[in-house]
Chains A and B, each alone.
Chain A
């Protein structure tokens, strides 16, 4: 079922014969890479170059990762409830029972 959905998406977006890559940029030294968008490219080297041209021309970052989009496993909208319902009734999950010491700013 899941595979069928994937191929449906592919059929409905015939914009390019080249595979899609997700682009992650590290904004600064020591910071985590963040997803910034995607590019089409025939292979990893070309994906890096295209990502540089599209997303890194204005000093946005210091390092780029590119990952084939179909290597990413994503949760589905149906997972919404079981995955993300925050369980607000389970108050013990939130660290709200501590007294903040004086002098600590929140």
Chain B
């Protein structure tokens, strides 16, 4: 049975994780120290693993026979449903860790709520994602304290990252009709209800890190409708090139 709302919702969850996983993987071999290189690669793999499961479930909900690979590698930019925050270039180490913290804190409250989803498959996936998100928050939150409350330069870079990223956080809490319909059925979570617990967690860490939240008049949006920044196309070009040039290639 085709479930277009569920398909769309799972795609949003999956694309956030696939695109961010790809971004974080760009640090592989470039992180400031070996141990952190491994830590970032682990986080990237967690996210891509989550995306793999979510895309598989999305393909089943769509009912057109598309598997995770088809959805990941054969969709164009306009069909991607990730929030804009995850597609921004990796920036410096402070930017990457700040984004990771803001995103993972969101993932934590979201997956906690989704564990009781009436869609039992999604509930099970949320449980697994929640466990991984707890570690991602611990790791990235720890780094927020280090760089925010570190040297003059690390503080400036962390604050610059918060200032740059903040305008992209609003999109994570914008609910639309699809989400509200699913929330009414107990399948999804109304994103607007996640902002308060997310904010409490983020404020606590930023305050301890000596960082301030900028006042932002306009929150960026559009990713959920397929209107992306110029950065996503480049990311997809790199990620999809093998499947596009050698369709169906396997190891």
Question: Chain A residues in contact with chain B, CB under 8 A?
Answer: 16, 18, 39-42, 45-46, 49-50, 52-54, 57
Chain A residues contacting B39 (CB-CB under 8 Å) are: 49-50, 53
A42: nearest chain-B partner, CB-CB: B146
Interface CB pairs A-B, < 8 A, 9: A39-B35, A40-B33, A40-B35, A42-B146, A49-B142, A50-B39, A53-B35, A54-B38, A57-B42
| Closest Cβ neighbor of A46 among chain B residues | B142
Please give me the residue from chain A that is nearest to B45 by CB atom. A57
Q: Given the complex, which residues of B lie within 8 Å of A50, measured CB to CB?
A: 35-36, 38-39
Residue from A16, A18, A45 in contact with B142 in the complex, judged by beta carbons closer than 8 Å = A45
Is there contact, CB below 8 Å, between B38 and A53?
A: yes
- Tell me the smallest distance from the CB of B51 to a CB of chain A, in Å: 19
Q: Tell me the smallest distance from the CB of A53 to a CB of chain B, in Å.
A: 4
Q: Which residue of A lies closest to B41 (CB)?
A: A53
> Which residues of B are interface residues toward A (Cβ below 8 A)?
33-36, 38-39, 42, 135, 138-139, 142, 146
Given contacts A40-B35, A53-B39, 6 further A-B contacts (CB under 8 A): A18-B33, A39-B35, A41-B35, A49-B142, A50-B35, A52-B135
Are B38 and A49 within 8 A (Cβ)? no
CB neighbours of B35 from chain A (8 A):
39-41, 50, 53-54
Give every chain B residue within 8 A of A41 (Cβ-Cβ). Answer: 35
Chain A's closest residue to B37 (CB) is: A53
Grouping DSSP codes into helix (H, G, I), strand (E, B) and loop, the B interface class, with mixed when no group exceeds half, is helix
CA distance A16 to B36 in the complex (A): 12
Closest residue of A by beta carbon distance from B38: A53
Most buried by A among B35, B39, B139: B35
- Cα distance A98–B42 when bound, in Å? 54
Q: How far is the CA of A92 from the CA of B36 in the complex (A)?
A: 53
- Bound Cα distance from A41 to B34, whole angstroms: 10
Q: Please, which residues of chain B bring their CB within 8 A of the CB of A45?
A: 142
Q: Report how far A106 CA is from B130 CA in the complex, Å.
A: 48
Contact A53 B42, beta carbon cutoff 8 Å: yes
A68 shortest CB reach to chain B, Å = 15
| Nearest B-chain residue to A40, judged by Cβ | B35
Chain B residue at minimal CB-CB distance from A45: B142
Is there contact, CB below 8 Å, between A40 and B34? yes
Q: Is the beta-carbon distance between A16 and B138 smaller than 8 angstroms? A: no
Decide: A49 near B33, CB < 8 A? Known: A54-B38, A57-B42.
Answer: no
Q: Closest CB-CB distance, A37 to chain B, in whole Å?
A: 11
How many angstroms between the C-alpha atoms of A16 and B32 in the bound complex? 10
Query: How many angstroms from the CA of A41 to the CA of B39 in the assembled complex?
Result: 12
Q: Chain B: which residue is nearest A57 at the CB level? A: B42
A50 and B42 CA atoms in complex are apart in Å by 11
**What residue of chain B has the Cβ atom nearest to residue A47's Cβ?**
B35
Residue among B33, B42, B142 with the highest chain A CB neighbour number at 10 A: B33
Q: In the complex the two chains form, what is the Cα distance from A15 to B114 in whole Å? A: 44
